Amino acid sequence: MSLHAAPRQVARRLLILVAGLWLVGAVSAAEPTETQRTAFKQAYAAAQQGGDGWRTAASTLQDYPLYPYLEATALTHDIRQIQRPQVEDYLKRYPGLLPAADLRRDFLTELARRQDWDTFLAMYQPGLGDALTCNALQAQLSKGAQLDFDRDLAALWSKPKLPSACDPVLSAAHDQGLLTEPRLWDRIDRAADAVQPGTINAIAGWLPADQADSARRIASALSDPGAAVVAANQWPDTSRNRQAATLALERLARRQSVTADIAWQKLQSHFAFTPEQRNRVMYALALFHATDYDADALSRLIALPASVQTDTSREWRVRAALAQQDWTAALAAIDAMPATQQQDGEWRWFRARALAATNRSAESQQVLTSLAQEPTFFGFLAADRIKVPYGICQIELKGNAQRERALLANQGLLRAFELYAVGLPKQARREWTQALDGADADTLKQAVDLAYRRGWYDRAVFTFNTGDALRYYEQRFPLASQDGLVPQAEQAGIDPSWAYAILRAESAWMADARSGADARGLMQLLPSTAALVAKRNGVTWTGGDSLYDPITNIILGTRYLAQMAARFNGAPWLASAAYNAGPGKVDQWLEARSSLPPDLFIATIPFKETREYVARVMSFAVIYDWRQHGNAVTLSQRLTPIGQTYTLPDSRSERKLVTCPVVAPPTPAEAGSAAPASSMAAPAAASSTH
């Protein structure tokens, strides 16, 4: 507030401020209590058993925002016994709510199981998923309806994989003559592009015998390329068999580049491959010889025709040169990239390295100076190389009382916050998404800030992911001391900043995260791994679901990190690679390229996911170090050379200042909500932010 404002204006602003504070207090006072939450948890546990037993525990919860979830949960449990009136009664009382939509979907699935098609059609609504779409078509077929391909099937047919509920409909479509050979082959081609051999085998039988054999060969090329390339020597030279052989060679190259090379030499004389097919095979062989770092990988990539090259092949040309520490070849490979690809931070870093190695120091310095202003893995490396502070420009997220009141009046968002508070994060995320669908940027910022203050940290990670929103470092890199990460990391003998970084990269603070490989919780541990770590460290182990408890997950996760670090001389960057790809893979890479400096070794990791993971974790460690201490141990200290023992940061470690080098006018979204970029101070220590 300006000191020069007129007295009446000052009084008016004070009245508004007081009124705003009163309203915020009123909203807060009206928020659900811990007593209600405890009662809900008890009632919810009862509702999960079905029946009406939950109603006793919920007798005081009729006005609680999550009350509708209780009845829906009980009805869902009893889905095989309930009837249409019970479901319609619920849908009438709670229209538009997510549990109502879920109940309708579950009941329709049950009606399809019962084959009660009259009730199904009476309650069906479009847009509930492919399975129910097919159930609806089956219901219509039961009434004697005829299918129309364009109206009923075209959208489904374009998908490479469909649920089993669609099988009767597809069979009916075939019997009605709708699945013509061109349509069958169109779907086979889509399935091949999506690597769905099961789909191809399922419909191959609807083709004439000779065509069915060709379709099954395409499926074989996808599922077992090694066997397919051997069998291909006996296949007739037809266009579809050439398609299958090409697919098999491409996929075998990914797994066994040398074996694929040998097979290619044989099959070239057997099939009259088209120029496009030859180029596809040559591309795959060149690329995967490069990922295997074969001696001729670089020359293969250079020899690829320009029309065949992609961003991926061009970057692997650089990586192959880096693996040989051939800086002249690396520079030539970077120069051969399109200008947009060259602007990637990784290639600017290695361009600077190559320029310095080829006696072009002034040009190298210019690249490094620009790169050092960026808060990324390669930006931090550049800052270390030219000995300047790290460039991190933070924006402080300011609250807005009026917008906060409006958000807390949004019943969907209130349900989202309550679901998170009672330990139902999956449902909370769904309510959040529905409540904020179409919200503007300022509303989203306020919602994220509300979530952050309630300890719901993953909302910031998933919302603040582009542009200037990346500068909300407090929200994007929370210091959640209540889960005990810092003391647990210290007890395990690892750097807390690194442990924070692993957690942030693994789960983005989603305590219920679960990967396709069954890794669970904040630090994404496999139950089998966690059980071994628990036994080794004398920690009580009660099964895989215990990994969804943040405290248990962090205890075991920090111990496993310490175990990985010990295996690799304490080096956090190698241990991070092992955490992602497995220690056995890292051992293989070390055996092949242990003479490389850390940045080159990381660049030559064959797995894209692991390369990016290591860079992300190590940059996050710098940011978390800064968030904790206001400055940071240099990234270079964390990247100890292979074979050298890593020493944990202590009072003698070199620490780097963090500044904001970019001075620019604020964007409209920032105006009035952030200090000038050049004057932003480093954040306070963790204890003052929570």
Alpha helical stretches, state H, 481-571? 485-492, 496-507, 527-537, 550-567
Give the H or E element holding residue 282: helix 275-291
Average pLDDT estimate for 610-627: 98
Backbone Cα Rg of the chain: 30
pLDDT tens, residue by residue, 452-498: 999 999 999 999 999 999 999 999 999 987 779 999 999 999 999 99
The encoded tokens of residue 30 equal 């009206």
Q: How confident is the model at residue 30 (pLDDT cuts 50, 70, 90)?
A: low
Q: How far apart are CA 220 and CA 227, in angstroms?
A: 8
Q: How far apart are CA 580 and CA 542, in angstroms?
A: 24
Going by C-alpha positions, the residue among 224, 300, 280, 290 that lies closest to residue 257 is 290
Q: How far apart are CA 175 and CA 288, in angstroms?
A: 45
Q: What is the pLDDT of residue 8?
A: 36
Query: Which region among 62-71, 265-274, 651-660 has the lowest average model confidence (pLDDT)?
Result: 651-660
Mean pLDDT over each residue of the chain, to the nearest integer: 91
Single-letter code of the amino acid located at 187:
R
Checking if the pLDDT of 162 tops 50, the result is yes
The fraction of the chain above a pLDDT of 90, given in percent, is 87
Q: Are 509 and 529 in contact (CB under 8 A)?
A: no
Checking if the pLDDT of 339 tops 60, the result is yes
Q: How far apart are CA 199 and CA 203, in angstroms?
A: 7
Q: Determine whether 250 is an active site residue.
A: no
Q: How confident is the model at residue 398 (pLDDT cuts 50, 70, 90)?
A: confident
Q: How confident is the model at residue 676 (pLDDT cuts 50, 70, 90)?
A: very low
Q: What is the pLDDT of residue 651?
A: 86
Average pLDDT estimate for 252-274: 96
Reported for 407-416, long-range contacts at CB under 8 A and 24+ positions apart, including other chains, are: 407/443, 407/446, 407/447, 407/450, 408/27, 408/31, 408/450, 409/27, 410/435, 411/65, 413/447, 414/65, 415/65, 415/66
Reported for 669-673, long-range contacts at CB under 8 A and 24+ positions apart, including other chains, are: 669/441, 669/442, 669/468, 670/395, 670/468, 673/395, 673/396, 673/397, 673/398
Checking if the pLDDT of 547 tops 90, the result is yes
Counting every residue written for the chain, the total comes to 690
Q: What is the pLDDT of residue 683?
A: 33
Q: What is the pLDDT of residue 665?
A: 37
Q: How confident is the model at residue 444 (pLDDT cuts 50, 70, 90)?
A: very high
Average pLDDT estimate for 235-256: 97
Q: What is the pLDDT of residue 9?
A: 39
Q: What is the pLDDT of residue 326?
A: 96
Q: Which member of 506, 591, 612, 654 is catalytic?
A: 506
Site of tokens 């809900």 = 40
The three-point CA angle 520-505-685 to 5° equals: 115
Q: How far apart are CA 643 and CA 585, in angstroms?
A: 17
The encoded tokens of residue 174 equal 């075939």
Q: How confident is the model at residue 401 (pLDDT cuts 50, 70, 90)?
A: confident
Q: What is the pLDDT of residue 19?
A: 35
Strands (E), 77-234: none
